[in-house]
Every structure is written in structure tokens, then in C-alpha cells.
Amino acid sequence: MKDERLTRYVEVGLPHLRQVSRLPEYLVPDVADVAHELGDQAMLKLAEPLGLSEGIKSLLNQSPEADSLPGEIWEVDIGRWQAVRQVVPVTLALLRACDKVEALERRGVAGMNSATTVRGLATIAFATFAPNGGKILDRLAGILGGNPAEPAALLNLYVKAMENGDKDTLADVEECILQYPAWAEWSKRFIAEGMAFPFIPRVIGVSPVPTGELIRLLAAMIVEVTNADRIRDIRN
């Protein structure tokens, strides 16, 4: 059996992070599933270019099992993390940015290719929480005309530039990221993982109350689809 301690840490720690940061459960509800799907290896590989991989490994070796840690310890430690206050604003800004980019792409006026957009948005969002992200965030804020202490506003500015067709600014952001080998490599791996990912994580999860009527309806739906598939198979 694989040793998935990091994955387990993410799965167990996420509810505590949500509680401390006040991030509701219905926002980005699939984070735990994404971590589970990625597994320790992929997550550590992703952290490697930023020099975080070894640190995480040694911490994991020293730490007890995630499930054995009491909730209070989780919450105290997460509370000490300076960037925790940015979780909600950055998540919201990122969700809004994704909706906006999707709309621009639907209209065919996104202006930039998807990889560039993902690189820009992902770097701004992740640099906020990465221990060594301050430097690149300062530079990106300079390009976008914002404040590095407000990464959510930077994401908004990035989308604004897309809406305005400000290709120069977007190209400058891209160039800036690629000038940092660590972030260039991280974003490359991030995009590659995203492309290979088997499902699209949900942005928001509205989960209705499982009434008897709803469950019966969903059962009827799956029976209908399965029977239709079976009939198609027989006909073929």
C-alpha cells in the first residue's frame, strides 16, 4: 500500500483550514478529491521547482499521522499562518476570474491562449501562499499596477487587462513569470497536471438535501440512462 501521508494531511486538514479561514464548504468543494487523485507523488513533484518538496518530506517524516492530531492543534497552527486571511478573497477572486475567462473564451475574445492565462492566474494565486512567492508577487503587482498585499485585486486586474485586450500587460506578466525559472517550471508542471487530470474540479458545490423524492429521482435517472446504454449496446 502506498504511503499517502501528504494526501491524508490535505484531506484531514482541509476542514480545519475552511473553519479558520472561513471558507465555506460549498466553495471549491472538490479540493480533497483533487488531492486524492493527485496523490503524494504528484503533489511533491509539483512543489519541487519551488524548493518546497524536501522541506515537506522532512516535515512529514517528523510529524505524527494526520488523523492522530487533535483539532485544536490544527486550528492553532493554521491560525498562525499569516496568509490564511487571504484564502477567502483569493479564492473568490479566482472563481470570478475563471467565470470571466470562460465567458471571454466563449465569445472568442480572450486574446491570449489558455496556457498563458492559466499560468498568469495560477501564479498570482499560488504565490500568495508560497513561502517564497513575495518577490514575484511584488513584480507582478508592479506590472499590473496593484498592491502585492492584495493578491485578489491583482487577479481582478489581470482579468481586467484581458477584458480590455491589453496584450502588452498580459505579455509582460507572462515574461515576468518565465524569467523566474522556479515559477516557470512550476507553472509548466501545473498546466501539465491540469491537462492530464481526469475530471474538472467543481467551482461551487450546491448540494441539495437528500430527500426521498430526490434519491428516487436520481435512481430513476441512472436506471434510464443505463437501460438506454444497454439497448444501444444490443442494437449495435
Partner 1 sequence: MLTVSEILGIEKEKIARRQPSEEDLRRIPLERPGRIFGRLSDPKQIQESLQSMAELAALVRLARQDGFQTELSNEEVESRLEAIKQSDSDALRYWVDGQLIVDLRDLGISGRLGPDKRPALAEFMADLSRGEAPEVTGTIYLSSEGVSRLSRDQDRIIGPQLLKLMKQANCRVRTPYDILNPRIDADWRELREGFEDAAKESRHLQEKHFGPKKREKAKKGEHVGNQVTPGFIIEIKGYKSNGSYIFGKWQPYPPHAEIGIRILQEYIRCGGSKYKAAQALRSTVFPFFPEELKYMETRSSLRNCLKTQAGYIITPEVIEGLTRQLALIGTWKWSDILIENNHPAIAPLDLFGEAYDLSRRRGNKPRGRAAYYDPLDWDGLLRCVNHESPRRISGHGSDGSWVCALDYHNGTGPICLDINHRIISDPLTREFLKCLDLSSHARAVFDEVQQRAAATEEEEPKRKREEAHLKSRLANLENYLGDSDSEMEESYRRQIRQAKADLRALQNKPLPAPVTSVDIDRVRRFLGNLEDEWQKLSSTLRNHLIKMLIDHVDIAHDQYHVRATVIWKIGFKQRIDIERPVGNSRRERHWTEEQDSLLRLLWPTSTKEVLLAAFPNRQLGGIRGRAAKLGLERRVRHYPPQWKGWTVSDDNRLAAQYVTETPIEDIAAELGRSKQAVLSRACFLKIKRPREIRFGFPKVNWEVLNFYGLEAVSSLLPPIRVA
Cβ–Cβ < 8 Å for 130, 182: no
**Does residue 207 touch partner 1 according to CB under 8 A?**
yes
d(CA 204, CA 27): 5
| CB-based burial, 17-39: b 16+ in 10 Å, e otherwise | bbebbebeeebbbebbebbeebe
**Does residue 216 touch partner 1 according to CB under 8 A?**
yes
**Does residue 208 touch partner 1 according to CB under 8 A?**
yes
**Does residue 164 touch partner 1 according to CB under 8 A?**
no
Cβ–Cβ < 8 Å for 76, 67: no
Which residues in the 60-99 window bind partner 1 by CB under 8 A? 75-76, 78-80, 84-86, 88-90, 92-93, 95-96, 99
Residue among 37 and 48 whose Cβ is closer to partner 1 = 37
User: Of residues 14, 29, 129, 188, which one binds partner 1 by CB under 8 A?
Assistant: 29
- Please report, in angstroms and rounded to a whole number, the separation of the first and last CA atoms in the chain: 41
**Does residue 215 touch partner 1 according to CB under 8 A?**
yes
**Does residue 106 touch partner 1 according to CB under 8 A?**
yes
User: Of residues 97, 125, 152, 157, which one binds partner 1 by CB under 8 A?
Assistant: 152
The phi, psi pair for 206, rounded to 5°, reads: -90, 110
Applying CB under 8 A, what is the total number of residues that bind partner 1? Answer: 60
Neighbouring C-beta atoms of residue 48, cutoff 10 Å: 16
d(CA 111, CA 105): 8
CB of 20 to partner 1, least distance (A): 6
Residues interacting with partner 1, by CB under 8 A?
20-22, 24, 26-27, 29, 75-76, 78-80, 84-86, 88-90, 92-93, 95-96, 99-100, 103, 106-107, 149-153, 199, 202-210, 213-230
